[in-house]
Structures are given as structure tokens and as C-alpha cells.
Structure 1
Amino acid sequence: LTAPHPSQLVADRRGHAADIARKKGCKIMSLVRQICKALRKLHLLLRALSALGYEYFLGQKKLERQRLDVKVHSVDRVHISSIKGAGLRAFTDGTMLQDGRLGISVFYHHGHDLNSHGSLQCPSSIKPDSNIAELAAICWALMRHPRGQFLALFSDSAHSLKCVSAAGRSGASHRRKRRQCGADVRWAALELLIRWLLRLRTAQTCFYKVPAHKGFKGNETADALAQVGAEKGPPLPIPFVCSSLDVFKILMEYLVRQAPIDGGSGDGSGDGGDGSDGGGDDSRNSRLLKPSRRAHKPQPLSEDTSMTDVVALDCEMVGVGASGFESRLASVCIVNKFLNPVYFSYCVPPVPITDYRTQWSGVTPAHLRKAPPFEQVQREVAEIVRGRVVVGHDLINDFQVLGFSHPQQLVRDTARGLPRFFCRGSGRPRKLRSLAWEFLGLTIQDGEHSPCEDAQAAMLLYLRFKNLFDEHSAGRKFWSRTPASAQGAAQVAVEAEEKVKVAELNGAALTGADIFAKEEAGNSADSEKVKTCRRRRRRHQ
């Protein structure tokens, strides 16, 4: 036998050391993943505990109409179809068979992720009743629907709606009197759970009474599913008798499950997102309770690509300057009221770009390689929006980078147009992503921003609250570049008029800023006159 060469021994030792280091690295990475998983679960628990504690100590005991609206009177088909957003409209129903078996169902529309039906296992100490099944169906719908998303519930049980109204609107003294007067205690636990679920919801919840067995398609489907659920449906984990500690555990699990999809962000999946350990019946129940968040994007309402009297506008910006904080126009999209794009263009800013902001704007150097100049895009956009109602989110920034303004009576801003619905308590505008998720059930801005997608979401918000936008448009303040005083505005108007005349005599092309300068200054002067009259009226009073 020949002895191995020394270089071969060195190579073997190095390979053995590399294998040992690789195994150690794998163990360390596995340990890091386990620690991150545990920290994520701890973060979800602390977040749920803080939300529950805030609502318990500082929350409203009586929910206002902006958060809870119960209408016991029957609604017709026109009213049902007028509530836009099929994914935010659910029909609930509960039934009891002759042998005492209970079944419930929640039906949105065909193919919806949250459609469900099942049976209820009523304890021996509680006599089965159809009213219990109706309340359990409402409770099940509230437990599974995203708490940051608008929800309209339709039920054919007037008793259930009255219980919901009493649970959400009345105080503790009123509920105590109801129990003293002999109110049925069989659904006391369900009322307590429904009251806390309504208080923990961050979006509005509306309840409507729908006539039973009158040919309403959604209600008839829910009734049929409830019958099937009572006969052979899977048992659903809905508590009928529970203590305060049990309610606390249920609410904590509810908040932990809702955390991954709260506010329209996150994928709703992953380790620790459903609060289960992946084994046994608990895992199965967790999958039943887990709210789904399939990505629903805005879709055109028709194939009509004509120019309408209402258009939606959205711009994407890039950074210029030494620090890249100054924004300039990079792309712009305009859609009509049918959500079809009528104009889209990239734009080359007149100054060098220092930050493309690709992770937010989606703009890369390749997009701007053959793009038209800023003046051309500005002129084309100004021609399109002239005389039309412009819809958008936080249009102050869009018009600022475009270099011109728009008459405020023709502006519908989803960020500032309806402070009652769209602004936080501090008055700051909310994000378009959260508004689309709450009021439309749509998922936008998952990664890079798309101007067409944002414009479509803004147009859908306007179409849903069109009457309210039109009512608030007259008294809304809007951004303007003109001086604050009426005298300065008049001076700018005169200068703009002279500039337009000189340009017309010389045959030069007019920019969008030149075209709208006079109208902008005149609008500012008129608004200053109104402000002066208001100040004089206050002094007189």
C-alpha cells in the first residue's frame, strides 16, 4: 500500500471541515427560523392583546351608526342590488329540523371563499331553537369576515336583528334590565360574543331584514344550504355556553387569525397566521375559521373605451435632486368611468433622475428610454381633463407634478373629499389600499404601484359614494398655486391673460399651465371673496 500524498490529506481535511461548517450553518439557520416564527407568534399575540385591551378600556360601549347600522324593516330587490360589492354582501340563515338538529349557512355569491354551511351541536342543557341558529349564523359570519372590511348582512329573522341591535347599541344597564325582565338566557353567550365582535371590527357593519321565502335568490340559497348543513354538514365550533375567560380566548384567537389580512396587507397564510399548530381537529377548525384573502383586482365594467365626462387620474413619480426627495412625473394613466384606460404614457422629466423609486413606482430606466418629454405629456393630459370631472386619490400631488391645477368644483378626491369616511381622527388621508380593501373588497398595491390600478380603484370608490362626493364638492378646499390674497390672485389672472395673448400673437404652443392659469387664478379670487364674506359675518355675529 502506498501512503497518500500530503496534498491529498490537506484536501480531505478541508472538505471534512467544510462539511462540518455547512451542517453547523444549517442548524443555526433552522434555529433562527424557529426563533423568527416564535417572535412572529408573540408579536401577533401582543397585537391582539393590545387591540382587545384598548377596546375594553377606551372603546365605545355603544356603537355609533358609522360602525353599526341595523334596519329591521324589510328591503326590496332594488335595495339589495344597490349595495355595491357582491363580496361584501352576505346572506345568513339558520334552521331547525323536526328531530332538533340545527344548521346554519353564510352565502355571499357563487364561488366566494367565505361561503360555508354546517351543523351545530347544541348542549343538552339548552333546548334547540331556530332563533339560536339564526344568531349563530350571524356570529359565524362576523368571525370569518375580515374585520377591516365593510360587511352588509341580510337575515330573514327579525328577532336576530333586534338582538344584534340591543347588543351593539344598548348599554350595560339596558342589558341588565332585559335579563331581569325574563329575557331568554339561551342565546346570552351568542349576544355577548356578537357584541364584542362588532366592537372589534374597524369597518362599518350593516344589517338588513329580508323577507323570507319571497323569491330572493341569495336568501333562498342560504336557506337551502342551512338545510343541507343541518342534515349532513360538518360541525362548527360555535359556543353556546361560555364564561368570560372563554370569550377572552375566542376573541384572542379571532384577532390573531385576522392579523395577517388586517388592513388589506399580508397574504393571510404562513406559519402562525392561523393560530393553529397544524394537528387534529383544532387545525381543521382553524382552517374553517380562517378568513381568506384571495387577490381581487379591479376589473373593467364594460368594453367601452370612449371618453366620458368623468375620468380618473393617477401619476407615478421619480426622485430628482441631490437627495432624490423632490418628485417629478414619470408615468400617468387616465381611465374612464367604465375603468378602461383612455390614456397612458411614460414621461421623461426635464431634470436628471437620481432615484427611480422602482419598488413603489414600478418605473425603470428602460421604460423612460423612448418616452416623450414632460411638456408633451403635460399638454395631452391638460387637453383630456379640461372641462371634465377628475377623480383620484390625493390629487394635490398629481396636479403638482403635472404643473397645472383644475377647477375645484370638478375635482373628486377620495383622500380628502369625504372626511367622515376616508380620514383618520387626526384628519390625515388614509391610504388608497386600505380604502379599496374596506369599501370595495379589492386588493391593490401588493408590490409595485400601478397607475391604472390605482385610478380604477379611485373611480370605483367615487361611483359607490357618488352622491356624497357631489354634495361635499361645493364646500371642499383644494390645492392652488395662486397667492392667498384676492388682490394677488387678480394680478396673476391679468398676467396670465397677457401671457396667453402674447403667445397667441407669436404663434407659440401653449402649455397646460398657460391654458389653466387664468381659470386657476379666477377660482382663487372667487374663493378669497367667499372667505372675506365669511369673516365679516363672524365679526358681525
Structure 2
Amino acid sequence: MDITGAFRVLTKGLSPPSYKTPKVQTACTGHMTTVYTDGSCTDGGYEEARARVGVWFGDGDGRNSVRVPVELPQTNNVAESLAVLLPGRKAPRDGNLIIKTDSQYVIDVLEKYREKIEDTDWLEQTNCAVLEPTIAEIRCRQGKTTLIKVKGHSGEIGNENTDRLAALGAEKEPGRPIDLSIDERVKVKGAKLSRMTQALLYKGIRRVKAQSVPPRRGMVAGLDAVRHAAHSERHQ
């Protein structure tokens, strides 16, 4: 019996797993929900960047939303990831959920690369703050969650409405903070030892140490000066 995959590292300070996962239904016990999502960003890479999110359940549906969270990096990938997390929390958990998105990035992370990302403790993946809660939310659902790729700007009514909602988000004031907590029952903790390289272990150790060291004031001031100079040059 091969037990090499059972050993995990970089778990210092984490509570041991409970091994109690939520019960998974073998069939849908509720109705089917279909939602269209879109996320994008204007002025990406600059201080004035504004991430915007559109979630569309249908005309006049009170769950339709536009969120521009200020506590998260204002990037296109963060917005697209958040656009999948939000409907997972708004739709009934006991029903099947179909999420239609034009983001190949999110589909690849959640379906193609998820196992590798979790096995290496997110050391090679950005946007962990949004993607990890998204994966946990899908795991907690009793119904089946399906991601379907749709072509952007193809005239499909749902996709066009999410584009409209996302565009409105760029003009709105920043939204309220979003709960990004993760149910401990479904959180994958640490990294699988059999998947780690020396470089990844070193990176993980540095990450652990960095969590206890505050950022240097001089470095923060220097980065602010660079951002200000880039902004001034861009608008001359």
C-alpha cells in the first residue's frame, strides 16, 4: 500500500483535520438554478484599478448583484473568481447549480488544476484568498455544481446582462466586505509531501516566516512613490 500521499507538511499552527466532511447527496433534492457570471477590471495594474462583478439569475431576480470589494486585489482574475463564489452562496444548497461563465481561467483552476494547487498548498497559485473559499463553497453544496463556458459578447441574453451589471459596478461605490471564511470541515491543510520539491518547500518556509514579520515602512513608502510616479507619467 502506497501511503506517501498521506503525509502533509507546512501545517504548523493549523488545527488537525476533523475528517468529518458534509454529507454529499447522491441526487438533487431541490430545483435547478442557472446563473450567468462575469468579472472584469478597468485600469488593471494601477492604483485606480476597479474590479467589477456581475451575477445574473434572471430578470428582476433579487439575487442579481454587482460587487466591487475593496479588501481584495483589484484584478480581472479576482473579479472572475468572486463571480463564481457569490452565486454558490446565493443559490439553494440542496439544488443543482449551473454557472455559466466566459472565464476559462476560473474553469481551469477549479476543474483542471485544483488537485495540484491544493497538494502544493497554493504556493504556485495567486488569488488564494478568493479561490480557496470558492472551492470550499462548492464542496459544501449538497447538489451538483457545473461550470459551463460561454463565449463572451455572443448575444446570449444571460451573458449580455452580466456584462451590463459588471459595467455598472465600475461606477458604483465599493461594496461591503465579503465573508471569505472557510468551513474547517472542507479545508485542505498543508501540502502533500510527495508533491513538494526543494524549491517549493523553501518557498513555503519563507511564507510562514513572512506571516510573523511586518512589512518594512521604507519598502512600503518606496512602492507608493513608484505607483505615484507611474500614475503621473500615464496621465501626462
TM-score band by shorter chain is: 0.5 to 0.7
Relative distance call for 1:224 and 1:104 in structure 2 (3 A) is same
Contact 2:99 2:147 in 1 (8 A): yes
How has the CA–CA distance of structure 1 residues 138 and 236 changed in structure 2, closer, same or farther, with 3 Å as cutoff? farther
Which structure has more relative contact order (CA 8 Å, sep 6+)? It is 2
The reply on whether 1:121 has 2:70 as its aligned counterpart is yes
Q: Among residues 96, 108, 111, which one is paired with 2:60 in the alignment?
A: 111
Question: In 2 relative to 1, CA 137–236 (structure 1 residues): closer, same or farther, beyond 3 Å?
Answer: farther
Contact 1:103 1:231 in 2 (8 A): no
Cα distance per residue 1:481-526 (max 9 Å; x no partner): xxxxxxxxxxxxxxxxxxxxxxxxxxxxxxxxxxxxxxxxxxxxxx
Q: Give the distance between the partners of 2:160 and 2:151, measured in 1 at CA.
A: 10
2-side partners of 1:218 and 1:92: how far apart?
A: 8
1:176 aligns with 2:119: yes
Please show how residues 212-231 of structure 1 align to structure 2 within 5 Å. 212-231=152-171
Return the letter of the residue paired with 1:95: S
**Cα 1:220–1:233 shift into 2, 3 Å:** farther
Write the distance in 1 (CA, Å) between the matches of 2:149 and 2:99: 9
Identity of aligned residues (%): 24
Distance 1:202 1:248, change over 3 A: closer
In structure 2, C-alpha distance between the alignment counterparts of 1:226 and 1:65, rounded to whole Å: 35
Cα distance change, pair 65–178 in 1 and its aligned pair in 2 (3 A): farther
Q: Secondary structure at the match of 1:231?
A: coil
Q: What secondary structure, in the 3-state scheme, does the structure 1 residue paired with 2:52 have?
A: strand
Is contact 1:106–1:222 with CA below 8 Å preserved after alignment?
A: yes
Structure 1 pair 206–143 and aligned structure 2 pair: CA distance change class (3 A): same
Aligned equivalents of 1:166, 1:64: Cα separation in 2: 23
* SS of equivalent residue, structure 1 residue 113: coil
Shift of 1:112: 1.6
- Give structure 1 stretches of 5+ with no counterpart: 1-54, 68-84, 252-541
Counterpart of 2:101 in structure 1: which amino acid? Answer: S
TM-score for both structures, normalised by structure 1: 0.27
Q: Which amino acid aligns with 1:175?
A: E
Deviations 1:166-210 (A, max 9, x none): 57x62xx65233744x322xx112222112111111111111000
Shift of 1:236: 3.8
Aligned counterpart for 2:106 among listed residues 153, 156, 160: 160
Deviation at 1:161, TM superposition (A): 1.1
Measured in 1, the distance between the counterparts of 2:117 and 2:172 equals 39
1:310-361 CA distance string (max 9 Å, x none): xxxxxxxxxxxxxxxxxxxxxxxxxxxxxxxxxxxxxxxxxxxxxxxxxxxx
Partner of 1:211: 151
In structure 2, distance between residues paired with 1:64 and 1:188: 27
- Is contact 2:117-2:125 (8 Å) kept? no
Secondary structure at 1:221 match in 2: helix
What are the ranges of 5 or more consecutive residues in structure 2 without an aligned counterpart?
1-16, 187-236
Q: Is the 8 A contact 1:118 1:230 kept in 2?
A: no
* Pairing partner for 1:133 from 51, 58, 79: 79
Q: Aligned-pair distance for 1:110?
A: 0.4
Q: TM-score, normalised by structure 2?
A: 0.59
Call closer, same or farther: CA 1:65–1:209 in 2, change over 3 Å.
Answer: farther
Distance in 2 separating the partners of 1:143 and 1:66: 19
* Residue number in structure 1 paired with 2:91: 145
Give 1:134 shift. Answer: 0.5
Higher helix share: 1
Q: Which digits, 9 at most, give the CA deviation of each residue in 1:250-290, with x for residues without a partner?
A: x9xxxxxxxxxxxxxxxxxxxxxxxxxxxxxxxxxxxxxxx
1:370-519 pair list within 5 angstroms: none
Structure 1 residues 203, 248: closer, same or farther in 2, change over 3 A?
Answer: closer
Question: What's 1:332 paired with?
Answer: none
How far the C-alpha of 1:118 sits from its partner, in A, is: 2.4
Q: Does 1:247 align with 2:196?
A: no
Query: Is residue 195 of structure 1 aligned with residue 135 of structure 2?
Result: yes
CA contact (8 A) 2:50 2:75 kept: no
User: In the alignment, what sits opposite 1:91?
Assistant: 36
Picking from 59, 63, 66, the partner of 2:21 is 59
Contact 1:154/1:210, CA 8 A, preserved across alignment: yes
Give the letter aligned to residue 94 of structure 1.
G
Alpha-carbon distance between aligned partners in 2 of 1:138 and 1:179, rounded to the nearest angstrom: 19
Q: Secondary structure at the match of 1:148?
A: coil
Task: Indicate conservation of the 8 Å contact 1:118/1:233, yes or no.
Answer: no
Name the CA shift for 1:174/1:205 in 2 (closer, same or farther; >3 Å): same
Query: 1:101, 1:120 within 8 Å by CA — same for their partners in 2?
Result: no
Q: How many residues align?
A: 163
What is the identity, as a one-letter code, of the residue corresponding to 2:35? A
Cα 1:111–1:174 shift into 2, 3 Å: closer
Indicate the structure (1 or 2) with the bigger Cα radius of gyration: 1
Partner in structure 2 of residue 399 of structure 1: none
Q: Is the 8 A contact 2:37 2:55 kept in 1?
A: yes
Superposed counterparts of 1:300-311, under 5 Å? none
Contact 2:57/2:63 (<8 A) preserved? yes
CA distance in 1, matches of 2:157, 2:173: 21
Distance in structure 1 (CA, Å) of the matches to 2:121 and 2:112: 10
Aligned residue for 1:104, secondary structure, equals strand
Q: Take 2:130 and 2:87, find their aligned partners in 1: how far apart are those partners?
A: 13
User: Partners of 2:150 and 2:75 in 1: how far apart?
Assistant: 20
- Alignment partner of 2:59: what SS? coil
Question: Is this contact kept in 2: 1:150–1:203, CA < 8 A?
Answer: yes
Aligned partners of 1:105 and 1:137 also within 8 Å = yes
